[in-house]
Amino acid sequence: MAMLYIHEQREWPNFDWDGAQLAPLLAEVRHRQGRLLGRMEALGFSLRGEAGLTTLTADIVESSAIEGEILDPRQVRSSLARRLGLDVGGAIHASRHVDGIVEMMLDATRHYLVPLTAERLFGWHAALFPAGRSGMRKITVGAWRTEEAGPMQVVSGGIGREKIHFEAPHAERIVAEMDAFLNWYNLPANGMDPVLKAAVAHLYFVTIHPFEDGNGRIARAIADMALARADGIPERFYSMSAQIETERSDYYNMLELSQKGAMEITPWMTWFLGCLGRALERAIEIHAGVMRKAKLWEQINQLPVNDRQRKVVNCLLDGFQGNLTTSKYARLTGCSPDTALRDIQELIARGVFLQNPGRGRSTNYRLMDTP
């Protein structure tokens, strides 16, 4: 007898899970959420803004990376900052495509109490594909997929190494399936913890796979929207997508496992809660870097620095690869090597930069408080 996918089961979409088994995991996640949000509440407005900006940038960049699309983090950060009214300095122009992805994520997380509708999802989809294409392929945008698109398979891996994880429902079922999904999503929780609803919503939506492309990113945006409801705030201080990217292989394996067999999804729920817990722990480490950056700028801003120095210090704080040299400083800022050396020497004198061991052409520098 052929194996049935869960959307082919008679019980679909009545998911089931072992609440007793999940209870301690959920309690731990809720504890970590409370601890992180408590830390964020203790920060000033500017630091909260920087922490949220860092998190959303990672969320958007990594959610696209899961699907094999590489976005420029600087463009994402610049687009977010502009829409959030944050002054980040040195902002660069973001492409129409990046702006669309940013708009989708902000709509999901900042308007988390607004009902989710088909028209809203169509808007998100159109924002993901402003040119009406996925790569070189023309796709149906801002509407459910059609029969002409053929069977919809969930695939991971590069060209020539594709792995099919499951096949979604036929296109003729999409309207009814999405009506049922949206009715379920917009209903009051009725005792279901919003974190658990986020886990179910992610699996439920990605199983239907209603669009020709972009389903994974929209599924993660829907989960983020549910998590924003769980937190009760529009700001995002942890990134589930960034953690999923770190655990991408396990993510696809769990999706594949969950599509086969009965409607009992305790393994998926267990994995989701564990991944979320690790995302919360990772966020605490990331925000420690935000605090470090803020303290350094508090020290630097006691005396003004020029725009070149500000740009290079921010590059070093944001994960500059390799050691800083005079020539790299000059290339980053478009100044002469002599000007670069004067800028660096001034920052050394002020205790911002430290010269590493070595002389001559190997001379390089680092931030004073960087090990």
Identify the pLDDT of residue 296: 76
Residue-by-residue pLDDT tens, the chain, 371 positions: 457 899 999 999 999 999 999 999 999 999 999 988 888 887 777 778 888 888 888 889 998 888 888 888 889 988 998 888 886 655 678 888 899 999 999 999 999 999 999 999 999 999 999 998 887 889 999 999 998 877 777 776 666 677 777 789 999 999 999 999 999 999 987 789 999 999 999 999 999 999 999 999 999 999 999 999 999 999 889 999 989 999 999 998 999 899 987 899 999 999 999 999 999 998 887 777 777 777 777 778 778 889 899 889 888 877 677 889 999 999 999 999 999 999 999 999 988 898 988 777 778 998 876 44
* C-beta separation of 98 from 71 below 8 A: yes
Q: Which CATH architecture has domain 306-367?
A: Orthogonal Bundle (1.10)
pLDDT given at position 104: 93
Burial class (CB in 10 A: 0-12, 13-18, 19+), 343: buried
Both tokens assigned to 183? 């009715």
The domain segmentation of the chain, as residue ranges, is 6-292, 306-367
Across the chain, how many H-helices and E-strands are there? 14, 6
pLDDT of residue 371: 44
Task: Determine the residue type at 316.
Answer: L
Of 108, 83, 54, give the one whose Cα is nearest residue 229: 108
Q: The CATH number of 6-292 is which of 1.10.3290.10, 3.10.310.50, 3.40.50.1820, 3.80.10.10?
A: 1.10.3290.10
Alpha-carbon Rg of the chain, whole angstroms?
Answer: 23
Element (H, E) at 156: strand 153-156
Q: pTM here?
A: 0.80
The pLDDT score that the predictor gives to residue 1 is 44
Does an H or E element contain 177, and which? Answer: helix 174-186
